[in-house]
Structure 1
Amino acid sequence: MENIFDIWSSRIPKYSSEFSDKLFQLMTKKGGGSEKSRVDLGKHFTNNYELYMYAFFLGLYRNENIAIPSGQKKVDFSHHIQYWGSKGNRLYRKDFTKLQDFMFMALVAKTDVDFIALDKGEISEKEVVKDLINTMESFTNGGLTLIQEKIEDNPNFFLQPTAFLDFITENHE
């Protein structure tokens, strides 16, 4: 049996293309190449996957699990999960790959997986990972939707120093 975490982390999750211009270009640094060569222009996230991770946890904490509609185009930013948060050769950057573990644990807890059937060989590891990725994309879509709604309601909300922390910890029960 293959390691489910390794299969999952080798994937590149997708998000709705409607958020490409609305959020990813608005909130992440523009341009490719090294971080130092990118244009900041008041961006909140250095890499697209950082916004993706934040949106995932926001959707998870708020229980906003919204599947991307079947007719809607999905896009990705060509970066495998296993590299998210890695320091690489950049001395000025801190490693935060541990978030991959937390995301995976949350996905296992929130995805309806029959691990007995998996152990018996009735379903494959790839089928389980597909379900985990669907759950991940749904929570991320929910989080991106919440961010978009907040920006529409108050365009300056995320300009406050603790806005992202405040937004994810707000009580919405």
Structure 2
Amino acid sequence: MTAQEFRNNILVKKPRYAKSKIPVIEAFANKGQSKSEYSQFGPIYELYIYAFRLGLKKGLKLPLPPRNSTKDFVEIGKWKRDSSLVDFLLMIVFSHSEEIGFDWNDLEDMDEKELNVVVSNIVEFIESYANGGLQYLQEEWENDNLINSSYLFVDLMNE
């Protein structure tokens, strides 16, 4: 498998999120609403990426609940199409290869089954930290600890 094929296998994956996080997603993601209590942070995929970065920064790895309590998200490759944002996100993910359970030097020699496990682990890595970030955001929101600011995520990352 070439590096491009490996990347493409990741880009077609649809990470999931917990259905219990829908209220916080709706409160912070721009879904075409004209008004919101908080500044909107763009489409849902942007909020998902912010939550992933927040969860990773704060070490908030939280596994998803069972599949019947989750919802599929849009494919990774459709996040900010024709942008380097997804590549930047993947570089962040790849910098945690030991946590994900792969060695860059071994990728070339892996068979398809082993590569599929690596891709699944990458998606699970993103999901668990995004879930942790969404949980943190939800708790802060429910406890009225958030200041309505266009720099909300920057402020949360700096705490």
TM-score bucket (shorter structure):
0.7 to 0.9
Q: Distance in 1 between matches of 2:158 and 2:77?
A: 27
Contact 1:158 1:164 in 2 (8 A): no
Q: Which structure 1 segments of 5+ residues have no match?
A: 31-37, 88-96
* TM-score normalised to structure 2 length: 0.82
Q: 2:17 aligns with which of 12, 15, 21?
A: 15
Alignment of 1:22-171 (within 5 A): 22-30=23-31, 38-42=32-36, 44-70=40-66, 73-77=69-73, 79-86=74-81, 97-110=83-96, 111-122=100-111, 123-154=113-144, 157-170=146-159
| Cα shift readout 1:21-66 (whole Å, capped 9, x = no counterpart) | x211111233xxxxxxx22213512311011010001011111111
Q: Which structure 2 segments of 5+ residues have no match?
A: none
| Cα shift readout 1:47-90 (whole Å, capped 9, x = no counterpart) | 1101101000101111111111337611024x221121236xxx
Q: Which has the higher contact order (CA 8 A, sep 6+)?
A: 2
Secondary structure of the 1:159 match is coil
State percent identity of aligned pairs.
26
Aligned residues: 151
Q: Which has the higher helix share?
A: 2
